Structure 1
Amino acid sequence: MGRPIDARGWVFEVKDQSRPGDHWLPIENLTSWSKNDSENEETAETTSFDSKGWYEQDVMQRGGQIELEGQYALDKSGRQVPGQAYVDRYWGQRLGIDSRNLIRWRHDSQDTWVIWEATVTPDEQSGETNDKTSWTATFTQCGRPRYAPVFPICVEESSA
């Protein structure tokens, strides 16, 4: 029998398109997450007389969505932590073809990232008298997922 994995072991990062190169920002201070692989799925019914009373369908569109929830957090200099700030102030303000970016995630026990091109909706922030301020964002998958190793393999060229 397999062992369950801890929900807190999931790591989520967004690509920082404000800088050149392959720079990813962790989304910190998360308290919960949810992933729905059937969000935005569309099907076409294919039931016919030949189905003999049994329902049939084909999937015509796949989709997915991830919702991250956490606590609005500040770094040591008093600024919002970089991953949250990027989502709120940079990615979440972009429109049209500029509204897409990359998000990746994995469990700390895994050696492969799942990467989505996605749009983001910075969601509700709230709190009450004795609460910490909440932070929430929803990422909607655009296109087919990709995968990448956590530690890319470096191959040295042999000397001539």
Structure 2
Amino acid sequence: MGRPIDARDWIFEVNDATAECETWLPIENLTSFTHNPGENEETADTTTFDSRGYYEQDVMQRGATIELEGQYAIDPRTGEQMPGQAYVDHVWTPQVGIDSRNLVRWRHRSQDRWAVWEATVTPDEQGGEVNDKTSWQATFTRCARPYWAPVCVEVAA
């Protein structure tokens, strides 16, 4: 019998498209995520008289989203927003057209490969009440076919 995995062990990172070398920034201080693998799916009804009263369809378009929720996070030493959240909020979100696409990757700590999406991002609500921490949210919408990449362990020189 299998064992359930902890939701807190999912890792989400965004690609810093402004960096000279491939750079992935972790999105920190997350409290929940929702992966919707059927979002934006489109189907075509293929039911005919030959279907004998049973519905038939073909999937014409696949889609997916990941919604991340957490707490707005700063580096206590510098007061700057943490790099992953800051990249989403200040570099990726303002982009439009072809520049609105970037890469996001995610995996569970127990997995040896990343799911990598070309995606767009939509910032979601931020806020809080008197005794709350400030919230942070973003929704990533997959564009095109996903791919998988191995987890590479970097060795310090």
Please indicate the TM-score interval, normalised by the length of the shorter structure. over 0.9
Q: Which residue of 2 aligns with 1:15?
A: 15
Q: Secondary structure at the match of 2:98?
A: helix
Deviation at 1:128, TM superposition (A): 0.2
> Residue type matched to 1:129 in 2?
V
Q: Report Cα offsets for 1:96-138 as digits up to 9, x if no partner.
A: 0000000000000000000000000111001000000000000
| 4+ long deviations beyond 3 Å | none
Q: Secondary structure at the match of 2:93?
A: helix
CA distance in 2 between counterparts of 1:77 and 1:58 reads: 53
CA distance in 2 between counterparts of 1:95 and 1:21 reads: 23
Q: Which residue of 2 aligns with 1:50?
A: 50
Larger radius of gyration: 1
Q: Report Cα offsets for 1:61-94 as digits up to 9, x if no partner.
A: 0000000000001012100000000000000010
CA distance in 2 between counterparts of 1:21 and 1:33 reads: 28
Deviates more, 1:143-152 or 1:88-97: 143-152
Q: Which residue of 2 aligns with 1:158?
A: none
The size of the alignment, in residue pairs, is 153
CA distance in 2 between counterparts of 1:57 and 1:109 reads: 36
> Residue type matched to 1:97 in 2?
I
> Residue type matched to 1:69 in 2?
E
RMSD of Structure 2 on Structure 1 (CA): 1.1
> Among the aligned pairs, what percent are the same residue?
70
Task: Give unpaired runs (5+ residues) of structure 1.
Answer: 153-160
Task: Give unpaired runs (5+ residues) of structure 2.
Answer: none
> Residue type matched to 1:70 in 2?
G
